[in-house]
Amino acid sequence: MEGGQGPYLYSVDKREYLDFVSDYSAAFYGHSNPAITEAISSALSPGFSLGSVTRKECHLGERIKGRFPSMERVRFCNSGNEANTYALVTATEFTGRTKILVFDNGYHGDTLNFGSGDNKLNLPHDFIFGTYNNIEANQKHTSSDLAAIIVEPMLSAGGQIPFTREFLSFLRKTADVTGAVLIFDEVVTSRLHINGLQGFHKIMPDMTTLGKYIGGGLPFGAFGGGGAPTSWLSMRRELGN
């Protein structure tokens, strides 16, 4: 593609396409939206890659905290995949455990892809595979050696299948009993409700991950939470980048 304007894409061979994909809904305001273009220009004009936290970064963090009550602390990164990677590492480090409950056909990025077949790119975590929306089938996974449970409140790439409120509540209770960290991957579902599907269902995870639509479609991600699992998310570090 050579460019885009509003709902249209323009190819290098000068064809016009009506874009129903919209960057997989990350571009739901349309291509080259003037408000987003102006916001990007305004953010870049004082300088970029400053090697420090900026005022606009703090402002965005506060806005995210206001939308997602579970995100008491927020850390920015470069993608939803990266946000999920950080969240899982945080959970395993906090709990001192390795087992991670995931779900068939769940998609948390190219290195956390649990669709059909063996994905050679997946990170080498100790994954346990559960079945979505089946409380009875997942009772066997409620052991005390779980580090984390990561779930999309609605399977996105896996078929746009919502998890039931009862099942998400079961996962919340499982995390409470086992001491596992419950992670809601809201990279896609955060745009379905002002407070994400966690707000719609009124079920708070320990950590939440977000992706590029929060950054207007640019490479962007965020992760965070509250309480002990995310207590390390502080700017006061001796070494860092």
- Name all domains of the chain by residue range, CATH numbers in brackets: 49-230 (3.40.640.10)
DSSP structural state of residue 226: -
Please compute the mean of the pLDDT values over residues 119-130 and round it to a whole number: 91
Task: Give the percent of the chain with pLDDT over 70.
Answer: 96
Q: Are 77 and 223 in contact (CB under 8 A)?
A: yes
Helix, strand, coil in percent for the chain, rounding step 5? 35, 20, 45
Span 191-229, pLDDT tens digits: 999 999 999 999 999 999 999 888 888 899 999 999 888
Higher pLDDT, 16 or 216: 16
Judge if pTM exceeds 0.75: yes
Residues with a catalytic annotation lie at: 107, 185, 212
Average pLDDT, the chain: 91
Span 141-198, pLDDT tens digits: 888 899 999 999 999 888 889 999 999 999 999 999 999 999 999 999 999 999 999 9
Tokens of 209: 């991950």
